[in-house]
Structure 1
Amino acid sequence: MLNEAVDSLLNKPETSNPSAAGAAATYVDATFGRGGHSRLLLSRMAPQDRLIAFDHDPDAIAEAATIADPRFSIRHQGFRHLGELPDASVAGVLMDLGISSPQIDNPERGFSFRFDGPLDMRMDTTRGESVAQWLATAEVKQIAEVVRDYGEERFAGPIAKAIVARRQERGPISTTTELAELVAGAVKTRESGQNPATRTFQAFRIFINAELEELQHALDASLRVLQPGGRLVVISFHSLEDRIVKQFIAKHAREVVDRRAPSWMLGGATAMPLEALGRVKPSAAEVAGNKRARSAVMRVARRTDAP
């Protein structure tokens, strides 16, 4: 949904030509990845506009260095730092959540059970604890809670017990293949077309990078940094992310009337800071060309004039 996301952020059709007239606008690509959204945004922004990107992946920072456009800058930070921008200074915030294809396809990053590699899964390899390091000391209860809560895996208990038993017998798990094989032995029934380790890998990645907590911080910050009329565009790839985004927009877009107040005090609904603009799913053509897109959901909201 590359073009759809940029269209929604800029609030103008793809064929429009940016005008040099008017005040400068600042946009934020909160999850740079490999720069697809940023490059398209730069091609359609006005000459006086600017684009600020965030990413905590060193490979993303290296890719951003290839963009020779004075309107563009990137911060080697997670998008929880969005709130460090000035209040009401941004015309649009784009968040493309989850993991990028280059990260998945690099065995050294340890994100995929399709390749044998170190069990790392950190978005930022320069800091923090890897999955292997955490599993080397985590207790059964901790592991089970992570697999259940972040992977929605019904065999979380058996998986956690198998991991700790393996650690006690032969030492900690250190590779993606070891983890995938161990999970496959603990999962008694499998979803059609899905590797039994899918949910567990997702859970450990989300946990080790504190992805859901970072998302909530970034959404809260977007209310402060978006100027009136500014757009919030969020693309999610699994239900945990989308639920947070959906509930956030609903909470701040739903008009509220305090029915406990006396009738003479009911002067109308409380003004809300967001207006929900819609939910978009990828086209059949996009899904046919990119299987990963099949689970994508894009939600769009607009910052209102409400305080």
Structure 2
Amino acid sequence: MHESVLLHESLAALNVHADGIYVDATFGRGGHSGEILKLLGERGRLLAFDRDPQAVQVAKQQFADDARFEIIAEPFSAMSRELSARDLMGKVNGILMDLGVSSPQLDEAARGFSFMRDGELDMRMDPTRGFSAAEFIATAKESDLADVIYRLGEDRQSRRIARAIVTARQVEPITRTLQLAKIVADALPRHEKHKHPATRTFLALRLYVNDELGEVERTLPQAVDALAAQGRLAVISFHSLEDRIVKLYLRDEARGPQLPKDLPVRDQEIKRRIKLVDKIMPGEAELKVNPRARSAVLRVAERIR
């Protein structure tokens, strides 16, 4: 069963008004969307994005009869384009971005996200676009593989892992998740306690194949642009790389333009667009029922003008 992380905290952060306009940038399996809809009145409106065809199908099945809801089958980096087409830029009262992969994607072996279940080595959130993880590791240079695993997986053993992958693919194509997981594990005689040795490699490949960090970087400015005054942006991150992007972007936006120290400008004259509202971590009660929430961070900002 899919458990939405920081569900109540994120809803509280959005400060939902009954007649407001809201965006769920990552529909997933509809946990957050369903709760937002419960708080909306007849005049309220919720637009949800998801590039995963399975998630889009779930959205259509769950909320097909709800006139307040619309699912948009696009990555959230299409936010400005899609909201502009609906004349909603600058009018949105709240945006929720629940980053990363969803539990159903991890749990379905055929999607290729998990090193614990055997399936095709795909990892694409939208299997109809782009290249799969198997296609990437079949053709990538050893140096490029090492760079991706080091930069996105933050694995210091990236060169050893890349060398093992290149050696293995010369014997037979690497097309299955457990096949890759074993190659990585065999290449690392010593690894972190209580963590599967392929954890960082699978994370790196997933981030690379889906350009997840690039998606976040492109979308955050669009989300701020989309908000009305007093509109809230709530972003849930699950690992350090994406959280760092969110943290730094929101911090810089909240500071406003960095002017020379000796410039005679009063603080209230600096045109800041947002203010930081909160940073929230899962509580012990949530961690007991949903261990996947352990690395989650919710950051909240509000549009000033």
How far apart in 2 are the matches of 1:172 and 1:71? Answer: 48
Give the Å deviation of 1:223.
1.7
How far apart in 2 are the matches of 1:266 and 1:187? Answer: 57
Aligned to 1:21: none
Aligned to 2:277: 277
Aligned to 2:162: 160
1:95-244 map, 5 Å: 95-168=97-170, 170-244=171-245
How far apart in 2 are the matches of 1:4 and 1:223? Answer: 20
How far apart in 2 are the matches of 1:255 and 1:65? Answer: 40
Contact map agreement 1:155 1:186 (CA 8 A) in 2: no
How far apart in 2 are the matches of 1:231 and 1:29? Answer: 12
Aligned to 1:299: 299
Contact map agreement 1:232 1:300 (CA 8 A) in 2: yes
Residue 142 of structure 1 aligns to a residue in which SS? helix
Residue 192 of structure 1 aligns to a residue in which SS? coil
Give the Å deviation of 1:254.
1.5
Give the Å deviation of 1:10.
2.2
Contact map agreement 1:112 1:176 (CA 8 A) in 2: yes
How far apart in 2 are the matches of 1:28 and 1:99? Answer: 18
How far apart in 1 are the matches of 2:201 and 2:106? Answer: 15
How far apart in 2 are the matches of 1:251 and 1:207? Answer: 26
Residue 93 of structure 1 aligns to a residue in which SS? strand
Residue 65 of structure 1 aligns to a residue in which SS? helix
- Alignment of 1:79 onto 2:76: yes
- Alignment of 1:64 onto 2:63: no
Once the two structures are superposed, residues 9-63 of structure 1 have per-residue CA deviations (whole angstroms, 9 ceiling, x without a partner) of: 1257xxxxx4xxxxx4210000000000000000011220100000000110110
Contact map agreement 2:99 2:236 (CA 8 A) in 1: yes
Residue 136 of structure 1 aligns to a residue in which SS? helix
How far apart in 2 are the matches of 1:200 and 1:121? Answer: 12
Once the two structures are superposed, residues 133-191 of structure 1 have per-residue CA deviations (whole angstroms, 9 ceiling, x without a partner) of: 111110001101110111001100011111111112x1320000110000001223211
Which amino acid is 1:125 matched to? P
Once the two structures are superposed, residues 207-235 of structure 1 have per-residue CA deviations (whole angstroms, 9 ceiling, x without a partner) of: 00000000111101012111111000000
Once the two structures are superposed, residues 233-276 of structure 1 have per-residue CA deviations (whole angstroms, 9 ceiling, x without a partner) of: 000110011100000110000255623545xx334352211100
Contact map agreement 1:51 1:71 (CA 8 A) in 2: yes
How far apart in 1 are the matches of 2:191 and 2:258? Answer: 47
- Alignment of 1:31 onto 2:26: yes
Provide the aligned C-alpha RMSD in A. 1.4
TM-score (norm 1): 0.92
Residue 139 of structure 2 aligns to a residue in which SS? coil
Give the Å deviation of 1:131.
0.4
Which amino acid is 1:271 matched to? K
How far apart in 1 are the matches of 2:197 and 2:256? Answer: 43
How far apart in 2 are the matches of 1:177 and 1:260? Answer: 56
Contact map agreement 1:119 1:130 (CA 8 A) in 2: yes
Which amino acid is 1:81 matched to? A
The gaps in structure 1 that reach 5 residues or longer are 13-17, 19-23
Aligned to 2:265: 266
Which amino acid is 2:260 matched to? R
Q: Choose the corresponding residue for 1:44, options 39, 44, 53.
A: 39
Which amino acid is 1:36 matched to? G
Which amino acid is 1:211 matched to? E
Contact map agreement 2:109 2:117 (CA 8 A) in 1: yes
How far apart in 2 are the matches of 1:178 and 1:238? Answer: 25
Q: Choose the corresponding residue for 1:92, options 82, 85, 94.
A: 94
